[in-house]
Amino acid sequence: MGQGEGMDGSCEGNLLEVRDLSLTLGGNNILRDINMDVGHGRIHALIGPNGAGKTTLIRAIMGGMPHKGTVRFHFCDNGRIGYVPQLLEFDHSVPMTVFDFLFLMLRRTPLFLSRRKPMRDEILKILSATRCEQLIDRMVGYLSGGEFRRVLLAQALVPKPELLLLDEPASNVDEVGARQFERMLIDLKEQQGHSILMVSHDMQTILRIADHVTAINRTVTYDGSPDNLSLSDLFVNVQPEVSPMVAQ
């Protein structure tokens, strides 16, 4: 039985616990004493103004940034984290289709030596999870922001993750697209049992779909139900501190 597994085999309690996480970059304290818990099977929103350290926190949770404090996962299955980044910088002229993009991530057989047919059905099925099968032969560089977000979310769902980390998943997406995206996230939580930690700027989205909110501005300024969140919680002015070494 895994750390977060209940007696009946279902997962309960916290999937992720962050304790006293602090992070310094170039002498500036980017994050200070962050404490937060993400529960199993919940949509947890991470909110804060620009430069609050949301993306840095996500990267620290993924193990990509050196930090102080602890990040503890209580997985009860494969322990996989699916990740959808905020900005994906890439060369738009590379002739890579959505099929190629997913193939590179899912298979070891060299793409140029493999047969497309058998893999095509599998990739269509993966894309159907985010309702974007029609994009399979489109070049990644020519997709709209919303289309690419769907493809990124589809790749994050395979193999099935225990935790989905979404960094502003609905940025650059129009209102209709954003609503569709919200519906998708609710379906993923309710039908697939996914746990989701999502960075978002959109208060309306958070009020509609999040179970729990943590607001940060370099440190935690609010942690609780979205219903009790006020705008003032988001703009608590926390000045960036300079580490003692730099000050000297």
Binding site for another protein (CB under 8 A): 62, 64, 81-83, 85, 88-91, 93-97, 99-101, 103-105, 107-113, 116, 137, 139, 155-156
Rounded distance, CA 202 to CA 208, Å? 10
Which is nearer to another protein, 108 or 191 (by Cβ)?
Answer: 108
Amino acid in the structure at residue 176: V
Cα angle: 33, vertex 37, 41; to 5 degrees: 155
119 vs 203, beta carbon nearer another protein: 119
Question: By C-beta, is 9 or 26 nearer to another protein?
Answer: 26
Q: How far is the CB of 101 from another protein (least distance, A)?
A: 8
Cβ closest to another protein, residue 124 vs residue 203: 124
Closest CA to 35 of 17, 13, 47, 61: 17
- Tell me the closest approach of the beta carbon of residue 46 to another protein, in angstroms: 17
Least distance (Å) from another protein to the CB of residue 49? 23
**DSSP character at residue 25:** E
Strand runs labelled E in the chain: 14-25, 28-39, 43-47, 68-73, 81-84, 163-167, 195-199, 212-216, 220-224, 241-242
- Smallest gap from residue 7 Cβ to another protein (A): 31
Q: What backbone phi and psi angles, to 5 degrees, belong to 157?
A: -85, -5
Residue 225 CB neighbour total at 10 angstroms = 11
User: Cβ 62 to another protein, closest distance in Å?
Assistant: 7
By beta-carbon proximity to another protein, the closer residue of 53 and 82 is: 82
